[in-house]
C-alpha cells in the first residue's frame, strides 16, 4: 500500500486480502503437525526479531505474512494440533471460524438491545437451544424469569453470579455484613472462584475451600459442607454462596449436585455449577446424568470454547433469576437511555456482565449448532472419550505406570510409578518425564498435583486428533520413560 491512500475498508481489497488470509490459515492447518506443539522459544525471543518502533510507511501483506511465518509461528503453541493433549482443549472449527469472521466483519458493539437487536435476540435464542440440548431446567430459559448470556470466560461467569448473590444478600441483611458472608467450594475448584472472591470483596478468611481427597475421588463431601455451614452459622457468619464443579480442572472430579444442591437450598445459599469443561459432554444422553441435580442450581456455566467446536471466546452462563444479575450490575447513564430499555421491553446484556461493550459472539455458537447439528456434536464428544479410554487401556498395560483417578470424560490422569514407596523420587521422575516429552515438540501434555502426587494429564480433545496420534503419543511417553529409567540405573 502507498502512503496517503488509506482506504481501511475497501470492499475489493477486503476480498483480496481476506482470500489470501484464509489461504494462509488453511495452509497452516495443513502443515500444523510440522511445528513443535509446545513452542520451544526462550523468553524475550521476539524483541530480538522485530523493529523497536512501528513503521512510518505502510508495508505489504506479503511482508507481514512472511514475518508471521518466520517470527510469530515459532512462538506459537499449537492448541489445534492433533498432538495437543495439555490442559483442556480449546476447539476451533470451520463453523466457529465462519462465525468469528462474520462477527469481526459486522464488528458491532451490542451492549444494549438497540445497538443491534439481532445480537441480543440471537444470543437469547441460541442459549435457549443449548439449554434444551443439555436438558437444563426450564427456569434457565429466557422465556421465564431466567436466561442465558455469553460471557468471555468461566472466570467472568462465576464472578458475575457471585456479585449477584452477594448483593442479594447484602440487600437483605445490610451492607455492613460483607465481612460475614461465606463462600463454599471444594479445594479442587478452579482458582477463578478465589479470584472472584477477591474482586467481590469477600473476606479471605470467609472462603471455605473444603478439602476433597482420594476417598471421594476428589469430589466435595456433602457432610463436610453441612458441618462447615453449621460451624459458620454458630459463629454468627452468613453462608451465602456454594460453587460446585462437574469435571474439575485437575482431574474431572464431579461434585454431587443433588445432595449439595439440597443443602444449599435448606440454607438459602446461591448455588452455582461450574461445568466449564465437562458441560459439553452432557449433550449426550449417557453423560447427562453427571449434571443430575442441576435443577437445584441458581446458575450453570459451560465453556463452548473448550470442547464444543466454538472458537475462543464463548462461555455460556444461565441463571434462573436474571433480575439478580441486573440488580447488581446495571447502570443507566443518560447517554445510553432509549425507549426499548426504558420501557423494559428488552434484555440489555450490558447489565449481565462486567464490561459495557460486547461482541456478537452468538454467531459462532449458532453456526456450530446449525452447520454440525446435535447428533454430530454428540458423536464428536464420544469419539474423544473413546480415544481417552483407549489411552487409559494402553497405560494400564504398562506395569511401570498407573492410572491415578477414574477416567470419566476425555482426560486421563496417570503417572510413572517404578518405586512404589518413594513419593519424592516418583514426583521428581514424573516432572522430568513431562519435561522430556514436551521438549521433543512432538506432543504437549500438562500436569497437576493430587494428594501430594505429581500427576501427568493427557486430555484428548483437539478437533483433528485421531487414534494414530494417541498411539504415537503413548509410544513417545513410553520411550522417554525408558530413557529416564535407564539413566537412573546406570
Ligand X SMILES: *Cc1c(COP(=O)(O)O)cnc(C)c1O
Residues that bind ligand X (CB under 6 A): 88, 153-155, 190, 192, 245, 247-249, 274, 276-277, 303, 315
Nearest approach, Cβ of 410 to ligand X (angstroms)?
12
Nearest approach, Cβ of 236 to ligand X (angstroms)?
31
Distance CA 77, CA 439 (A): 12
With 0-12 / 13-18 / 19 or more C-beta atoms within 10 angstroms meaning exposed / middle / buried, residue 204 is: exposed
Residue closer to ligand X by CB (options 249, 430) is: 249
Here the cell at position 1 is 500500500
Nearest approach, Cβ of 245 to ligand X (angstroms)?
5
Distance CA 23, CA 433 (A): 38
Residue closer to ligand X by CB (options 119, 459) is: 459
Nearest approach, Cβ of 158 to ligand X (angstroms)?
7
Residue closer to ligand X by CB (options 192, 394) is: 192
How are strands ordered across the β-sheet holding 401-403?
Answer: 401-403, 411-416, 453-459, 446-450
Residue closer to ligand X by CB (options 267, 315) is: 315
Whether 106 and 73 have beta carbons less than 8 Å apart is answered as no
Nearest approach, Cβ of 161 to ligand X (angstroms)?
13
Residue closer to ligand X by CB (options 409, 454) is: 409
Nearest approach, Cβ of 116 to ligand X (angstroms)?
24
Residue closer to ligand X by CB (options 212, 477) is: 212
Residue closer to ligand X by CB (options 274, 298) is: 274
CB atoms closer than 10 angstroms to residue 400: 13
Distance CA 256, CA 353 (A): 28
Output the DSSP codes for 240-271: EEEEEEBS-TTT--B--HHHHHHHHHHTT-EE
Residue closer to ligand X by CB (options 194, 478) is: 194
Question: % helix / strand / coil in the chain, to the nearest 5?
Answer: 50, 15, 35
Mention every residue, 6+ apart, whose C-beta is less than 8 A from residue 10.
none
Nearest approach, Cβ of 212 to ligand X (angstroms)?
14
User: Which residue's Cβ lies closest to ligand X?
Assistant: 153
Nearest approach, Cβ of 422 to ligand X (angstroms)?
31
Residue closer to ligand X by CB (options 307, 474) is: 307
Residue closer to ligand X by CB (options 276, 413) is: 276
CB atoms closer than 10 angstroms to residue 287: 21
Q: Is the peptide bond before 81 cis (omega within 30 degrees of 0)?
A: no
Note the Cα 79 to chain centre separation in Å. Answer: 13
Whether 294 and 137 have beta carbons less than 8 Å apart is answered as yes
Nearest approach, Cβ of 76 to ligand X (angstroms)?
19
Nearest approach, Cβ of 302 to ligand X (angstroms)?
9
Nearest approach, Cβ of 277 to ligand X (angstroms)?
4
Residue closer to ligand X by CB (options 168, 306) is: 306
With both helix axes pointing from N to C terminus, report the angle between 154-173 and 322-329 in degrees, rounded to the nearest 10. 80
Dihedral, 309, 145, 298, 196 alpha carbons, nearest 10: 70
Distance CA 133, CA 118 (A): 22
Whether 242 and 264 have beta carbons less than 8 Å apart is answered as yes
* Helix or strand run (H / E) with residue 457: strand 453-459
Amino acid at each position: 500500500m502507498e502512503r496517503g491512500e488509506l482506504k481501511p475498508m475497501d470492499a475489493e481489497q477486503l476480498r483480496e486480502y481476506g482470500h489470501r488470509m484464509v489461504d494462509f490459515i488453511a495452509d497452516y492447518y495443513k502443515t500444523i503437525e510440522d511445528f513443535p506443539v509446545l513452542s520451544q522459544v526462550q523468553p524475550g525471543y521476539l524483541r530480538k526479531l522485530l523493529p523497536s518502533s512501528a513503521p512510518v510507511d505502510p508495508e505489504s501483506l506479503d511482508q507481514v505474512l512472511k514475518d508471521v511465518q518466520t517470527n510469530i509461528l515459532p512462538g506459537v503453541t499449537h492448541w489445534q494440533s492433533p498432538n495437543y493433549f495439555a490442559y483442556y482443549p480449546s476447539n476451533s472449527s470451520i463453523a466457529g471460524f465462519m462465525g468469528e469472521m462474520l462477527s469481526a466483519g459486522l464488528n458491532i458493539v451490542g451492549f444494549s438491545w438497540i445497538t443491534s437487536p439481532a445480537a441480543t435476540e440471537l444470543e437469547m435464542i441460541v442459549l435457549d437451544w443449548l439449554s434444551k440440548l443439555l436438558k437444563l431446567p426450564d427456569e434457565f430459559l429466557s422465556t421465564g424469569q431466567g436466561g442465558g448470556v455469553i460471557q468471555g470466560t468461566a472466570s467472568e461467569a462465576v464472578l458475575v453470579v457471585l456479585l449477584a448473590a452477594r448483593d442479594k444478600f447484602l440487600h437483605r441483611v445490610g451492607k455492613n455484613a460483607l465481612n460475614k458472608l461465606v463462600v463454599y467450594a471444594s479445594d479442587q475448584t478452579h482458582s477463578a472462584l478465589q479470584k472472584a472472591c477477591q474482586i467481590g470483596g469477600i473476606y479471605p478468611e470467609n472462603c471455605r475451600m473444603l478439602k476433597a481427597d482420594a476417598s471421594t475421588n476428589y469430589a466435595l463431601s456433602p457432610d463436610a459442607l453441612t458441618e462447615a455451614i453449621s460451624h459458620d452459622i454458630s459463629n454468627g457468619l452468613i453462608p451465602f454462596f456454594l460453587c460446585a464443579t462437574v469435571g474439575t480442572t485437575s482431574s474431572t472430579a464431579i461434585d454431587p449436585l443433588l445432595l449439595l444442591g439440597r443443602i444449599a437450598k435448606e440454607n438459602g445459599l446461591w448455588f452455582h455449577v461450574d461445568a466449564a469443561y465437562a458441560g459439553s459432554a452432557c449433550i449426550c444422553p449417557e453423560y447427562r446424568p453427571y449434571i443430575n441435580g442441576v435443577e437445584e442450581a441458581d446458575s450453570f456455566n459451560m465453556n463452548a470454547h473448550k470442547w464444543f467446536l466454538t472458537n475462543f471466546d464463548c462461555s455460556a452462563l444461565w441463571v434462573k433469576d436474571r433480575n439478580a444479575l441486573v440488580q447488581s450490575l446495571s447502570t443507566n447513564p443518560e447517554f445510553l437511555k432509549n425507549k426499548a430499555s426504558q420501557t423494559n421491553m428488552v434484555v440489555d446484556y450490558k447489565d449481565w456482565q462486567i464490561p459495557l461493550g460486547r461482541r456478537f459472539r452468538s454467531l459462532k455458537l449458532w453456526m456450530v449448532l446449525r452447520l454440525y447439528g446435535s447428533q454430530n456434536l454428540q458423536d464428536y464428544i464420544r469419539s474423544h472419550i473413546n480415544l481417552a479410554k483407549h489411552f487409559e487401556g494402553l497405560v494400564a498395560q504398562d506395569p511401570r505406570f498407573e492410572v491415578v483417578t477414574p477416567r470419566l470424560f476425555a482426560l486421563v490422569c496417570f503417572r510413572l510409578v517404578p518405586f512404589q514407596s518413594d513419593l519424592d523420587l516418583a514426583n521428581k521422575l514424573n516432572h522430568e518425564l513431562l519435561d522430556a516429552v514436551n521438549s521433543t515438540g512432538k506432543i504437549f501434555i500438562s500436569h497437576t498435583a493430587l494428594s501430594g502426587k505429581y500427576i501427568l494429564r493427557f486430555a484428548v480433545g483437539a478437533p483433528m486428533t485421531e487414534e494414530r496420534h494417541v498411539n504415537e503419543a503413548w509410544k513417545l511417553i513410553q520411550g522417554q520413560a525408558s530413557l529416564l529409567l535407564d539413566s537412573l540405573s546406570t
